[in-house]
Amino acid sequence: MSIKLQNGDLAPDFKLEANDGKTYSLESFKDNILVLYFYPKDNTSGCTTEAIEFTALKSEFEKLNTIVAGISPDSIKSHCNFADKHNLSILLLSDQEKSVAESYGAYGEKKMYGKTTKGIIRSTFIIKNGKILKSYYNVKAKGHAEKILNDLKELL
């Protein structure tokens, strides 16, 4: 595994296009807390569960001045189809080069069905003022959005 970001580390900057047609960087979220989560692929069971759960809790996150954004290597077209199909209202950012995932330690070797492969490591970061408040690696999709919401409430 490459780097692992720790609480208090500076969050790596990025510039990525989202499913709403805009381009975002870390600076875009400077007035908010950002929950940035990395997931492997649109329309797969775990990724769909995670995105639907984050969408269901979006208003709760907004009460805490928090924006949720998911990042995967999928294209913008794929993100738009994914969002439309599942009524997702969270931002989905496209990192086709996987460079942002790599800078967050969310891309690298992982074990899947007993085999070691390279890919996106399901990871989430709570970021405020450009700093990592909390990082999560190798997370389970189901129930993760609620855990992040509860941890966020404790952090604030």
User: Is 80 annotated as catalytic?
Assistant: no
What local confidence, expressed as pLDDT, does residue 114 receive?
86
Q: Which of 47, 51, 121, 133 is catalytic?
A: 47
pLDDT of residue 48: 97
Is residue 98 a contact partner of residue 83, using CB atoms and an 8 Å limit? no
pLDDT of residue 101: 97
CATH of 15-155 given 3.30.230.10, 3.40.30.10, 2.60.40.790, 3.40.50.12780: 3.40.30.10
| Cα(20)–Cα(14) distance, integer angstroms | 17
pLDDT at position 80: 98
Task: Specify the length of the chain in residues.
Answer: 156
pLDDT given at position 3: 82
Q: What is the pTM of this model?
A: 0.96
pLDDT per 10-residue tile (average), the chain, 156 residues? 85 98 97 98 97 98 98 98 98 98 94 87 97 96 98 94
